[in-house]
Amino acid sequence: MSFHQKVALFYALALLGAASINYIPGLTDPDGLAFGVFALDIFDDLLHLGSALWALAAALISARAARNFLLIFGTLYLADGLMGLAVGSGYLDLGIVNNGVLDLPFTFKIMANAPHILLGGFALLAGVRK
């Protein structure tokens, strides 16, 4: 298994974990906030599940498919996180459509968008590695 396939497999597991947060007791508070920071809705769950299945398929198909996944996924998720940092809503979960531009404290924007920025940035860096 190539480096890119191993990284894509890691993403499949991490994204399945993200998709399951709302369904594991104790990971959300009484207000439905994951880790007390952000609420994950059905759009987020479907995004994470779809991304996990894409990562798994890419990891199992070939090194080239895994690398392409990392490059495309990384670009999409990094841009989504940066957009969320800038305007308070991302596009991958339809947040910008459903919520519009949100005036949120910058520290909250950082905490809420850090997962997509970090996951996207790492995937992109792994994808450009030969």
Q: How high is the pLDDT of residue 76?
A: 97
Helix and strand counts by DSSP (H, E) for the chain:
5, 2
**Element holding 66 (H helix, E strand):** helix 63-87
Displacement of CA 54 from its chain's centroid (Å): 12
pLDDT confidence of residue 84 = 94
Single pTM value for the model? 0.88
Name the token pair of 85.
């940092």
78: containing domain? 3-128
pLDDT digits (tens, 9 = 90+) for 10-33: 999 999 999 998 888 888 888 777
Q: What's the one-letter identity of residue 62? A: S
Q: Per the structure, how many domains does the chain have?
A: 1
In this structure, how many other beta carbons lie within 10 angstroms of the beta carbon of residue 57? 14
Q: What confidence score (pLDDT) does residue 95 get?
A: 87
List pLDDT tens digits, range 82-127.
999 999 999 998 889 988 999 999 998 999 899 999 999 999 999 9
